[in-house]
Structure 1
């Protein structure tokens, strides 16, 4: 038995097409644009397909995500607890999960701010020639506690610090050969100041190195370049 017209399923209809499928009342067939708009309206009205749980997989576990982030961050490079906490926060890890995991990593020795500070000081002092003041600023930016930083900085030998300053000055001597002594002093002490050296040490080292360079210049060309350092 044919279904009554009122029993037919309802839904969005294509423009110009009746429920029974006939053309527009005026007998004109719907145009391409009408059909396209009708299809778009039908798609918009259709409910979205159900999510596929197999494809989506289980919801990510905050602790597991945080543990992977920490292990990735610590691979091949030590980091401070503050640096790691900042990284976890940026990744959206809840604070309570972050604190719990960082404390656990400290307990097993994977996070150790004291060891990190000592290694940082040794590397930056020997590699970059930084003095204690500059090292202290870097450790503070790394989130290292002041007391922990002080203990690491106390291991810097003052003689090693002076020796590093001399190396830095000697590397720059050639760049000041053509300027007068006052300008050379200003440039070289400024360079040491940026490395964290105090005014007393900087002035002493620069003066001694300029004197040594002047008196040790055997090449006539070097003597010509150093005549203004008197």
Structure 2
């Protein structure tokens, strides 16, 4: 197999990057990993990634802000879960923290309360201690899977259940 020139590698890498970006926003780290998977030489990949950043086709700060907005709306994830996801995508911790500023403590708690209200079984007899305890454990588990700390999850579930009982 004939050796490829840097121009041929760059052309292939450019095609890979453009296809990836056509599918949706990607972090520099994700794109670099894709190029490495396709065995694009590191020097060619770095130069092309730098150029794509220069012309703002790659913008990790904007990617992080968009990721936080969409994942919050779609999955109601906690900031700690979002922070972990951004780290997995190779986002610099400072950029991640800036993006997470979009979510206040009040927003995060309101979002968790909404999740608990949606997941609360209307048929559950909360006056029965065993049923109530089981429901609390289930709802705390729902929030835990979304990245909420146990203390926060218990507090929110307790508040929502108190509200539900007050309305009955």
Scaled by the length of structure 2, what TM-score is found? 0.88
Per the alignment, residue 130 of structure 1 pairs with 77
The answer for unaligned runs of 5 or more in structure 2 is: none
Give the ranges of 4+ consecutive aligned residues of structure 1 lying more than 3 Å apart after TM superposition: none
- Identify, as 1 or 2, the structure richer in helix: 2
Counterpart Cα distance in 1 of 2:149 and 2:98: 20
- Does residue 183 (structure 1) correspond to residue 134 (structure 2)? The answer is yes
Per the alignment, residue 77 of structure 1 pairs with 24
Q: Structure 1 residues 175, 192: closer, same or farther in 2, change over 3 A?
A: farther
Counterpart Cα distance in 1 of 2:77 and 2:71: 6
Per the alignment, residue 96 of structure 1 pairs with 43
Cα RMSD of the aligned pairs, angstroms, is 1.9
Counterpart Cα distance in 1 of 2:153 and 2:85: 20
Which secondary structure does the structure 2 equivalent of 1:180 belong to? helix
Bigger RCO (CA 8 Å, 6+ sep): 2
Counting matched residue pairs gives: 160
- Does residue 204 (structure 1) correspond to residue 128 (structure 2)? The answer is no
Counterpart Cα distance in 2 of 1:100 and 1:204: 50
Scaled by the length of structure 1, what TM-score is found? 0.65
Q: Is the 8 A contact 2:13 2:35 kept in 1?
A: yes
- Higher Rg of the two aligned structures: 1
The answer for unaligned runs of 5 or more in structure 1 is: 1-57, 218-230
